Amino acid sequence: MPRPHTPILSPARIRAAALALVDRDGLDALSMRKLAAELGVQAASLYSHVATKEDLLNDVASEIIGRVDVAGFTAGWREGLVRWARSYRAVLAEHPNMVPFVSRGPDRRDASLRMADAIHGGLVGAGWPPREATMIGAAVKYVVIGAATSSFAAGFSDDAQLYVARYPHLNQAHLLRQHAEEVDNDSFELALGALLATLDAKHTAPVAEAVVRTPAP
């Protein structure tokens, strides 16, 4: 066995350590040097396994997105959408400090494109015209990303009572910390439920056509 050292690093280990650091200290606290220190190694060593900090974060983001449940469409488009929306939100809520990065812009990440494709395919397969499927996917995504991004609960600090005192209407707005998650959740379900109700009303005609076009095998 002439191998001089068993390797101490690997892309997966680096990703895990990066995510742990971001979860603990925030996205801005992640530096290649701190990450290396956490792994007992020099900063330059990371570049044997990772091309760039941006790439590393993209890979971490892809791992997160990959955990979203897009399999619900076997039980119908409604169930597919609901499971997608709730699991998408839950997965983001597990890593609030990664949300700004994960939800940045029009997504070029492979995992995000696969997710978008699964949703679009599920909707089209259930009879929604492609143009409407795109809009529905986008609208649900807006609600999820918005809820994850501007959550009351995420990073809610204990000095929040300060604001309650200064802004009269917020005073009665149930913004206390113990209610923040509940308000987040109810607001999210309000938006999601409203969207589904509208889709239920629209749904009747297009799905009938689709059954004709794509008969069961």
Partner DNA sequence: ACCTGAACACCGTTCAAGT
Residues binding DNA (CB under 7 A): 4-5, 7-9, 30-34, 36, 41-45, 47-49, 52-54
**Under the criterion CB under 8 A, does residue 135 sit at the interface with its own copies?**
yes
> Residue 51 or 71: which CB sits closer to DNA?
51
Asked if residue 77 binds its own copies (CB under 8 A), the reply is: no
197 binds its own copies (CB under 8 A): yes
Q: Who contacts 81 (Cβ-Cβ below 8 Å, separation ≥6)?
A: 72, 119, 123, 136, 140, 196, 199
Based on CB atoms, which residue is closest to its own copies, 16 or 183?
183
Q: Is 195 in contact with 143 (CB distance < 8 Å)?
A: yes
Position 178 contacts its own copies (CB under 8 A): no
* DSSP letters for 14-76: HHHHHHHHHHHH-GGG--HHHHHHHTTS-GGGGGGT-S-HHHHHHHHHHHHHHTS---GGGG-
Based on the shown chain and the rule CB under 8 A, indicate whether residue 174 belongs to the binding site for its own copies. Answer: yes
Judged by beta carbon distances under 5 to 8 A according to partner kind, the member of DNA, its own copies, none in contact with residue 98 is none
With CB cut-offs between 5 and 8 Å by kind, which of DNA, its own copies, none does residue 25 bind?
Answer: none
Look at residue 48 and give the partner it binds from its own copies, DNA, none, a contact being a CB closer than 5 to 8 Å depending on partner kind.
DNA
- Closer Cβ to DNA, 29 or 173, answer by number: 29
Does 141 interact with its own copies (rule: CB under 8 A)? yes
**Could you give the CA distance from residue 152 to residue 13 in angstroms, rounded to a whole number?**
32
Q: Is 126 helix (H, G, I), strand (E, B) or coil?
A: coil
Does 155 participate in binding its own copies (rule CB under 8 A)?
A: yes
Q: Phi-psi category of 5—alpha, beta or left, where left has phi over 0 and alpha has psi -120 to 50?
A: beta
Q: For the residues of 162-174, what is the DSSP string, one character each?
A: HHHHH-HHHHTTT
Rounded distance between C-alpha atoms, residue 43 and residue 49, angstroms: 11
Residue numbers at the binding site for its own copies (CB under 8 A): 100, 103-108, 113-114, 116-117, 120-121, 124, 130-131, 133-136, 138-139, 141-147, 149-156, 160, 163, 166-170, 172-175, 183-184, 186-188, 190-191, 193-195, 197-199
